[in-house]
Amino acid sequence: GAVVSQHPSWVICKSGTSVKIECRSLDFQATTMFWYRQFPKQSLMLMATSNEGSKATYEQGVEKDKFLINHASLTLSTLTVTSAHPEDSSFYICSATGTGDLQPQHFGDGTRLSIL
Amino acid sequence: QKEVEQDPGPLSVPEGAIVSLNCTYSNSAFQYFMWYRQYSRKGPELLMYTYSSGNKEDGRFTAQVDKSSKYISLFIRDSQPSDSATYLCAMRPTGANSKLTFGKGITLSVRP
């Protein structure tokens, strides 16, 4: 089956630093990638949708300058949390979908971000 | 009314039981239906994916879609302790860029 790799799986850093999370599709070309945030015992909240070579489309209420998304190739998208603060601590998950309307979304294993 | 409603949990069953998980939806534009399984501190894993009314079977799992009633189900036969996880229904309209709308998820516990 389709594999999406997310790295790192867990990161702890000090308030004010920037953190980059990578999302890679290992065995298919991901024309569209999605970034989600998940709070404990809650469902996934979509943050943004990115297409290869285009600017990401952010959901209402998500700060574009805070959460920088780059989708430079058909197998890699990155999410950078800039000047992270404790309230940015969360579980971030990416997903990817291949070419064609019938393709489902495949998810990475998530990144647990803890800001001290 | 929320676009997707999922049966509240948690759900606890003995090993070997048949489990029935359900979601209803209100948006008739939804055409693609998925069930994901999510273990603690992991990303969702795609279990079943359907885009037409009817049944789809894969091993111990059967997904059922009834578009006329706007109702989808996931059945798990011969449930195992390893099936203990959170199950999320998700659905979307046509269009590869379409966003998924998720149910809230139900936590299943299968007792040995």
Contact A43 B49 (CB under 8 A): no
CA distances (Å), B83 to each of A42, B14, B19, B102, B104, in order?
A: 19, 11, 10, 20, 18
Q: With contacts defined as CB-CB under 8 Å, which chain A residues touch B99?
A: 34, 46, 49
Classified as helix, coil or strand, A64 is coil
Q: Cβ(A25)–Cβ(A6) under 8 Å?
A: no
Q: Is the pLDDT of residue B97 over 80?
A: no
pLDDT band of residue A1 (cuts 50, 70, 90) is low
The mean per-residue pLDDT over the stretch B73-88 comes to 97
The mean per-residue pLDDT over the stretch B7-23 comes to 95
Within 8 A by CB and 6+ apart from A33, the residues are A23, A25, A49, A50, A71, A77, A94, A95, A96, A97
Q: With contacts defined as CB-CB under 8 Å, which chain B residues touch A42?
A: 104
A13-63 pLDDT, tens per residue? 999 999 999 999 998 888 899 999 999 888 899 999 998 888 899 999 999
> Measured between alpha carbons, how far is A97 from A33 in angstroms, rounded to an integer?
6
> Measured between alpha carbons, how far is A48 from A34 in angstroms, rounded to an integer?
6
pLDDT band of residue B32 (cuts 50, 70, 90) is very high
B48-73 pLDDT, tens per residue? 999 888 999 999 999 999 999 999 99
Kindly report the CA angle at A93 between B62 and B96, in degrees rounded to 5?
Answer: 65
pLDDT at A102: 81
